[in-house]
Amino acid sequence: MSEVTVKQLASTVGIPVERLLTQLKDAGISAGDADSKLTEQEKVQLLAYLRRSHGKDEGEADGGPGQVTIKRKSVSELRVPQAAAPRSNTPNSRPAPAARGGGKTVSVEVRRKRTYVKRADEPATGTTPAPRRQSNDRSRAGRERAAATSAVIDESRRRAALEAMRAEQEARRLAEQEEQERRAREEEARLEEERRQAAEARRRAEEEARQQAEREAAERQARGVTEEPSAEATAEAGEAETETPARRAEAAKPKKAAKKAAEPVEKEKEKEKDRPAKKVVRKETAPVRVRDIAVAGRGEYEDIDGPGGGRGPRRRKKSSKPQLQDKHAFQKPTAPVVREVEIPEAITVAELANRMSVKASVVVKELFKQGMMVTINQNLDRDTAILVVEEMGHKAVVADERDAEGTLLDEMQEQEGQFEALPRPPVVTIMGHVDHGKTSLLDYIRRTRVASGEAGGITQHIGAYHVETDKGTVSFLDTPGHAAFSAMRARGAKVTDIVILVVAADDGVMPQTVEAIHHARAAGVPLIVAINKMDKPEANPDKVMQELTQYEVLTEEWGGDTMMVKVSAKAGLGIDELLDAILLQAEVLELKAPVEGPARGAIVESSLDKGRGPVATVLVQSGTLKRGDIIVSGGEYGRVRAMFDESGSPVESAGPSIPVQVLGLSGTPNAGDDVITVSDERRAREVAEFRAARSRQNRFDEQRGVSLDQLFTQLKDGEQKAVNLILKADVQGSLEALRESLLKLTNDEVKVAIVASGVGGITESDANLAVTSNAILLGFNVRADAAARRVVEEKGLDLRYYSIIYELIDEVKQAISGLLSPIVTEEIIGLAEVRDVFRSSKFGAVAGCMVVEGVIKRNNPIRVLRNNVVVYEGALESLRRFKDDVAEVKHGMECGIGVKNYNDVQPGDQIEVFERTEKARVL
Ligand code: GDP
């Protein structure tokens, strides 16, 4: 390109056209306007002028050894204020002063230096073109050189400008980015502030609304207005009352007052809306108090959007979009999340961690810091759990004690209500004075009315059975007397509908007859009197009726409301009439229960069977208990593995008032404990564990009470003595009855304390406990095992066996009262182990035995023990050694034993032979 216009040159060089024109003019070149063309020559002329004007003459320029050095320095400053940054390309241009304090200036300086060396073969002529007046021919070569130089200058300038531009752009980009970040931060801080204000305003508004509601309520009350409060006011008051932190985080939309208070916030939001979209930062920063970050976060966001009615959703949509693009979408919660953690009585480490939304290891660590080594599955007590929760900055809330249990019971009741209640059989308990014939009466009914399932007519002792008659079904509870009845009543499991009071016609009203009347009255259960032993010649039923009137029990015959039936358990007299009376009474009571639906019931009895595990007799009270159901009973739970009726035959289901023996529970519940069907096993376990923990605590308190009492006693009153007892029994029912009766024996002089009690044989640990607590071991229908007996012997412990409740109680009572007269006691003289059982046509079952202790005597009374529990008491039919009848067999010898009237001897059973001897009683 040989010719350029002034304008082109100006833009290449990077100076304004006017300036170039002035320079051209000064250089003596006539260029009229921006469009006039410049020749090469003129360009060189201009260059020479410029050099001169910058203080370099031709000589100097030529003084160098034929080289040209070009230097260029360009400085640009970037001013990046709030609005679009004004940019300046002009070198050395002064930046505009910062409009606001927040502006930013970036200086960019570009330096270029280039040297062109003339080639050696070229004549060393001045690079500066001659002035115009020099002759044309003389400087032809020079002109060419000048043109080349000029092109080089152009080129280098262009490059320099380009580089500068790039650098500028880069700097600008960086600055912009920085600016954006800064703005985002500012925006965020501002929003946070706004939110805080909004929350504050809302809180104030809510507070106002609440106060308003309260005031109104108070006014209404004061006025005693009877009209209904307005719906709005009710809603407001209701909301204000039920306010919770979670609710507070929710939108305060429906509240008028809140809306008013939130108006300034609204305006703020309008402004915010006008801002560029990119300014919208994520709003879901954590509010100060949240229960759940996900839910509350959203709520907070919507809240900020305000009660915008129709506009709400649109705006939400708009502002939610940029979140995705925004690099700063995630906001670390500005305040720690405080959770409300529910703490039940006991909680595992894992569950506690779960409730705080932290890893279990964090909780373990926390506990470790406090000096506790725990595993994930370990249970923490409530106090420890609360400590951990608070240590970790959360809020501990004590869970409702009855939560699991209470909701279960509520549900149960609700479900029961859904099914139609139908008439159900009555449940009867027989009570009366000792030896008046309770057992005989029950036995007679069982023998004659219960369909026996097993060969030999041996019915299982399951503590209850039902009798089918033409007129209906009756269920009998065969529990040990009135003590068990009161124990069951005390637990609130009122299972008995009718009490049969047995009074011997030859004996009349006795102390326990009176007690039974009181028990029945206290429980609100109607009485039917069975005047027994009517077969006896000395029977005097009128005397009985007469005596009963003293206790306000008046027979119908004499115009009263109590049915009295004359019976004989021995002769089987009047049993039908008694059953009729029971059914009549049941009709009057209108006993009803739903047959459909989940079962609810009560434990009549429970024991631990070596082969079958815990065995419990359940009396179904409503619904139907089925095999496979999951049940909770007291502190135990489990799936019903199998069910048996009183005759030992397996059954699939049991309806209301029907007793069944249940296998599959985790342990032996107490007599009187309720039985509830639960839908799932986890819940069953939860409820059972909760109850077990509670009863453990109660027991602990009880024991502590005893020892404290003792200490107190010893300190205060040297006179009073304490009798410590360890009580073991065959079934839970007996145990409960004994416990209650024994504890009642405490009098002014002696305190009775039961250190331990349980179902099953007396074990070594029981014996050891007796040593440490200085207690007397009492076994009711149970025996001590070999290890326990060793301890008893070594330590000289007092071990007593009983098979009659009243005997045990009387003995303890007499001992306490100091009436230690010599009485007849039992002494076990021999023990044989059954190795095998043979059936013989002549003798029935004959047990092949080995005498393991003492001596077996033919004419002494015996007991059959199974797993150290008495299963039969009676006498021997035969005692043989090698086909010879013998009077006794000594220790270490084998023998054949036939038990009188008992054919159920099994291998592994033990047969103990005892002697009633007279012995001075010591206690
Ligand atoms: P419990 O202590 O109330 O259970 O009384 P039992 O059922 O053990 O009976 C005590 C005694 O009375 C036993 O010897 C029975 O044989 C006897 N007995 C029970 N009922 C009758 C009856 O109706 N007539 C006669 N003669 N004796 C009876």
pLDDT tens digits for range 725-763: 889 998 888 888 888 888 887 766 667 888 888 888 898
Tokens of 835: 């190795």
779 shares its domain with 792: yes
SS3 723: strand
Task: Please give the pLDDT value at position 226.
Answer: 45
Helix (H) or strand (E) segment spanning residue 382: helix 382-391
Instruction: Name the most confidently modeled range: 284-288, 371-375, 473-477, 715-719.
Output: 473-477
CA–CA distance, 849 with 891 (Å, rounded to integer)? 11
pLDDT tens digits for range 440-461: 888 888 877 665 544 344 445 6
Work out the number of other CB atoms within 10 angstroms of the CB of residue 662. 28
Flag whether pLDDT at 100 surpasses 80: no
Q: 553 labelled as ligand-binding?
A: no
pLDDT tens digits for range 678-722: 888 888 888 888 888 777 766 554 444 334 344 444 444 444 466
833 shares its domain with 915: yes
Task: Please give the pLDDT value at position 299.
Answer: 37
Q: 611 labelled as ligand-binding?
A: no
- Residue 730 C-alpha to ligand 1 middle, in angstroms? 23
Atom of ligand 1 nearest to the CA of 569: 23
Average pLDDT over residues 802-829: 72
Q: 532 labelled as ligand-binding?
A: yes
Atom of ligand 1 nearest to the CA of 532: 23
Task: Please give the pLDDT value at position 631.
Answer: 92
Tokens of 609: 């069977």
Q: 508 labelled as ligand-binding?
A: no
Tokens of 432: 């009366």
The alpha carbon of residue 622 and the mean position of all alpha carbons in its chain are separated, in whole angstroms, by 29
814 shares its domain with 827: no
Flag whether pLDDT at 67 surpasses 70: no
Query: With bands split at pLDDT 50, 70 and 90, how would you rate the model's confidence at 150?
Result: low
788 shares its domain with 857: no
CA–CA distance, 918 with 826 (Å, rounded to integer)? 8
Contact 255, 209 (CB under 8 A): yes
Work out the number of other CB atoms within 10 angstroms of the CB of residue 143. 17
- Residue 572 C-alpha to ligand 1 middle, in angstroms? 12
Task: Please give the pLDDT value at position 205.
Answer: 78
pTM for the complete prediction? 0.43
Task: Please give the pLDDT value at position 771.
Answer: 77
The residue among 791, 818, 845 that closes a domain is 818
Contact 763, 638 (CB under 8 A): no
Q: Report CA torsion sign: 469, 475, 477, 478.
A: positive
User: What CATH code is carried by the domain that includes residue 809?
Assistant: 3.40.50.10050
State the DSSP code for 762: B
- Residue 548 C-alpha to ligand 1 middle, in angstroms? 20
661 occurs within a structural domain: no
Tokens of 376: 């994930």
- Indicate the range of 220-229, 273-282, 471-480, 689-698 predicted with least confidence: 273-282
Residue nearest to atom 2 of ligand 1 (CA): 435
Structural domain containing residue 864:
823-919
Flag whether pLDDT at 142 surpasses 70: no
The alpha carbon of residue 321 and the mean position of all alpha carbons in its chain are separated, in whole angstroms, by 40
CA–CA distance, 843 with 484 (Å, rounded to integer)? 39
Average pLDDT over residues 88-114: 56
39 shares its domain with 12: yes
171 occurs within a structural domain: no
Q: 434 labelled as ligand-binding?
A: yes
| Crossing angle of helices 349-356 and 360-369, rounded to 10° | 110
813 shares its domain with 845: no
Task: Please give the pLDDT value at position 759.
Answer: 87
State the DSSP code for 586: H
Atom of ligand 1 nearest to the CA of 436: 3
If you average pLDDT over every residue of the chain, what do you get? 73
Task: Please give the pLDDT value at position 823.
Answer: 58
849 occurs within a structural domain: yes
pLDDT tens digits for range 767-798: 887 877 778 889 999 999 888 888 888 877 88
Residue nearest to atom 17 of ligand 1 (CA): 437
Average pLDDT over residues 217-223: 66
- Residue 488 C-alpha to ligand 1 middle, in angstroms? 25
Tokens of 526: 């109607």
Q: 470 labelled as ligand-binding?
A: no
Contact 763, 788 (CB under 8 A): yes
User: What CATH code is carried by the domain that includes residue 895?
Assistant: 2.40.30.10
CA–CA distance, 245 with 237 (Å, rounded to integer)? 16
528 occurs within a structural domain: no
Place of tokens 């000594």: 890
β strands within 11-148, DSSP E? 37-38, 67-79, 105-117
723 shares its domain with 814: yes
905 occurs within a structural domain: yes
Mutate to test the pocket of ligand 1, among 435, 440, 535 (most ligand atoms within 8 A of CB): 440
Query: With bands split at pLDDT 50, 70 and 90, how would you rate the model's confidence at 851?
Result: very high
Average pLDDT over residues 126-155: 51
Closest CA to 331 of 194, 191, 200, 197: 191
State the DSSP code for 107: E
Residue nearest to atom 9 of ligand 1 (CA): 437
β strands within 597-673, DSSP E? 600-609, 613-622, 625-626, 630-633, 636-644, 653-654, 659-665
- Residue 67 C-alpha to ligand 1 middle, in angstroms? 146
- Residue 582 C-alpha to ligand 1 middle, in angstroms? 21
286 occurs within a structural domain: no
- Residue 495 C-alpha to ligand 1 middle, in angstroms? 26
- Indicate the range of 39-48, 290-299, 884-893 predicted with least confidence: 290-299
804 shares its domain with 737: yes
Atom of ligand 1 nearest to the CA of 502: 3
CA–CA distance, 446 with 830 (Å, rounded to integer)? 34
Q: 125 labelled as ligand-binding?
A: no
18 shares its domain with 48: yes
pLDDT tens digits for range 398-443: 766 556 677 777 777 777 777 888 899 999 888 888 888 888 888 8
Q: 90 labelled as ligand-binding?
A: no
Residue 448, strand partner residues = none
- Residue 439 C-alpha to ligand 1 middle, in angstroms? 7
Query: Is the pLDDT higher at 543 or at 109?
Result: 543
Query: With bands split at pLDDT 50, 70 and 90, how would you rate the model's confidence at 144?
Result: low
Flag whether pLDDT at 249 surpasses 80: no
Query: Is the pLDDT higher at 883 or at 327?
Result: 883
Average pLDDT over residues 455-481: 71
Closest CA to 513 of 496, 531, 493, 537: 531
805 shares its domain with 831: no
Domain count, the chain: 4
Average pLDDT over residues 822-840: 82
Task: Please give the pLDDT value at position 425.
Answer: 92
Flag whether pLDDT at 250 surpasses 80: no
Residue nearest to atom 25 of ligand 1 (CA): 533
Atom of ligand 1 nearest to the CA of 536: 26
Q: 443 labelled as ligand-binding?
A: no
Query: With bands split at pLDDT 50, 70 and 90, how would you rate the model's confidence at 293?
Result: very low
Flag whether pLDDT at 237 surpasses 90: no
798 occurs within a structural domain: yes
CA–CA distance, 556 with 574 (Å, rounded to integer)? 17
- Residue 534 C-alpha to ligand 1 middle, in angstroms? 11
The residue among 799, 818, 837 that closes a domain is 818
850 occurs within a structural domain: yes
Tokens of 440: 């005989």
Atom of ligand 1 nearest to the CA of 440: 7
The residue among 373, 398, 423 that closes a domain is 398
Task: Please give the pLDDT value at position 374.
Answer: 82
846 shares its domain with 808: no
Work out the number of other CB atoms within 10 angstroms of the CB of residue 833. 17
Mutate to test the pocket of ligand 1, among 435, 535, 575 (most ligand atoms within 8 A of CB): 435
Q: 433 labelled as ligand-binding?
A: yes
Place of tokens 């609204």: 266
For ligand 1, residues with CB inside 6 Å are 432, 434-440, 532-533, 535-536, 568-570
* Percent of the residues in the chain that have a pLDDT greater than 90, as a whole number: 12
812 shares its domain with 875: no
Flag whether pLDDT at 863 surpasses 70: yes
- Residue 441 C-alpha to ligand 1 middle, in angstroms? 8
Cβ-proximal residues to 920 (8 Å cutoff; 6+ apart), any chain? 820, 822
Tokens of 560: 């009263």
Flag whether pLDDT at 192 surpasses 70: yes
pLDDT tens digits for range 634-676: 888 999 999 998 888 889 999 999 999 999 998 888 877 889 9
CA–CA distance, 59 with 71 (Å, rounded to integer)? 19
Helix (H) or strand (E) segment spanning residue 510: none
